[in-house]
Amino acid sequence: MTEAVATANANVALAKYWGKRDESLNLPYTGSISITLAGLTTTARVRFGAARVIDRIIMSGREAEGLEAQRVSAFLDLVRQRAGEEPRAEVEVASNFPVAAGLASSASTFAALALAASRALGLSLSPLELSVLARRGSGSAARSIFGGYVEWQPGQASDGSDSYAVQLAPAQHWPLGIVAAITDPGRKRVGSREGMAQGLKRSPFFPAWLQSHDADLEAIRQAVLARDLATAGLVAESNCLKMHAVSLASSPPLLYWNPTTVAVIQRVHQLREEGTQAYFTIDAGPQVKIICPLAERDAVAAAIRRVPGVHDVLLSEPGDEARVVESE
Ligand code: DP6
């Protein structure tokens, strides 16, 4: 029996990944840039060699079934193929934040699974190899392998071998605060996987999204390196709104927001008018993530908590890379 436990943090993209050039390999059309989020952590325990005929997968305390279980088993198959071994596994995955509600739990889940499963089968993969592997589980997981500020390079190879993330800057480079406003604690109805597939096939705005994305990416990359919050924040807001515009214009339309999402956006704009550097971004769900100087995080969180309809706020800052916490 071989076992390993690994942790990985969620991440929030300032320049988004939205649209795949290859659905089975999770190859993106564009690059993306994210911040790895301290304290929003998924732990994966993987034990191989159990006398089983199928994998046993526990997600958030309950046995995974159907597509969810298939997705994890198919991911474990990749690791088994690489190791040249066939044992079934017992897997336990748990996150300390709301899963599947637009808080990037698939990113931290597959980054933690890539590390735990490869280590449990005796593979010692480099961060780059882990990023390629994690990407196969969920595209954004490629970024959660690394800490701090991270860029996923889309690559060009049809086998995906050059589509992996790299660290742009470590967490200490720029002490930003991140506030996640939970406007709906339930599971989201349309995940990012289906949402981006729908946008790509059925939104007239998808070509425009692709056309303007590289300029956003370059602006955000430079702003991160220069610690220029006004530029990073404004371009991230615009990039997020363009991604949501792709969904809104698709047929049938896809609206991830609720009224509280909009109220939080408006409160962020108001905070800026009052002199606080706060900027929002939203992924494939109704929650709003706000970036601000770390020193202003508590004040921003207090203001957002008072917006009617906000259930909770989570506080974060740039966090560390995925790591093995136990292995035998
Ligand atoms: C809106 O990585 O969840 O959060 O590759 O299909 O698993 P799959 O998609 P996923 O998509 C994340 C989309 C996003 C933007 C981002 O994180 O860049």
Residues 53-75 pLDDT 10s: 899 999 999 999 999 999 999 99
Q: Are 165 and 322 in contact (CB under 8 A)?
A: no
The per-residue pLDDT for 104 is: 65
pLDDT at 174 over 60: yes
Which atom in ligand 1 lies closest to the alpha carbon of residue 139?
5
What is the distance between the alpha carbons of residues 291 and 11, in angstroms, rounded to a whole number?
12
pLDDT at 225 over 70: yes
Which atom in ligand 1 lies closest to the alpha carbon of residue 138?
7
Q: How confident is the model at residue 50 (pLDDT cuts 50, 70, 90)?
A: low
pLDDT at 243 over 60: yes
What is the distance between the alpha carbons of residues 13 and 255, in angstroms, rounded to a whole number?
19
Q: How confident is the model at residue 51 (pLDDT cuts 50, 70, 90)?
A: confident
Residue ranges lining ligand 1, Cβ < 6 Å: 13, 16-18, 26, 32, 104, 106-107, 138-140, 192-193, 283-284
Cα 161 to ligand 1 centre (Å): 19
pLDDT at 320 over 80: yes
Q: Are 288 and 264 in contact (CB under 8 A)?
A: yes
Q: Are 88 and 16 in contact (CB under 8 A)?
A: no
Cα 14 to ligand 1 centre (Å): 12
Query: How confident is the model over 17-37, as pLDDT tens digits?
Result: 999 999 999 999 999 999 999
| Fold type of domain 176-316 | Alpha-Beta Plaits (3.30.70)
pLDDT at 248 over 90: yes
The per-residue pLDDT for 143 is: 98
The per-residue pLDDT for 137 is: 97
Residue whose CB lies within 8 A of the most ligand 1 atoms, among 11, 21, 145, 192, for a mutation test: 192
Q: Are 109 and 149 in contact (CB under 8 A)?
A: no
Query: How confident is the model over 129-151, as pLDDT tens digits?
Result: 999 999 999 999 999 999 999 99
pLDDT at 100 over 60: no
Q: Which residues of 103-115 are buried (b: 16+ CB within 10 A; e: fewer)?
A: bbbbbbbbbbbbb
Which atom in ligand 1 lies closest to the alpha carbon of residue 191?
3
The per-residue pLDDT for 64 is: 94
Cα 326 to ligand 1 centre (Å): 28
pLDDT at 188 over 80: no
Q: Where are the domains of the chain?
A: 2-170, 176-316
The residue contributing the CA closest to ligand 1 atom 5 is 139
The per-residue pLDDT for 102 is: 58
The residue contributing the CA closest to ligand 1 atom 8 is 138
Which atom in ligand 1 lies closest to the alpha carbon of residue 15?
18
* pLDDT (mean) for 250-268: 96
pLDDT at 301 over 70: yes
- Please state, rounded to an integer, the average pLDDT across all residues of the chain: 94
CATH class entry, domain 2-170: alpha beta
pLDDT at 312 over 60: yes
Tokens coding 4: 């390993």
Cα 68 to ligand 1 centre (Å): 16
Residue whose CB lies within 8 A of the most ligand 1 atoms, among 153, 240, 283, 287, for a mutation test: 283
Cα 194 to ligand 1 centre (Å): 10
* pLDDT (mean) for 179-191: 85
Which atom in ligand 1 lies closest to the alpha carbon of residue 141?
2
pLDDT at 99 over 80: no
Regarding predicted confidence, which is higher, 328 or 188? Answer: 328
DSSP assignment of 16-50 equals ----EEETTTTEESS-EEEEEEEEEEEEEEEEE--
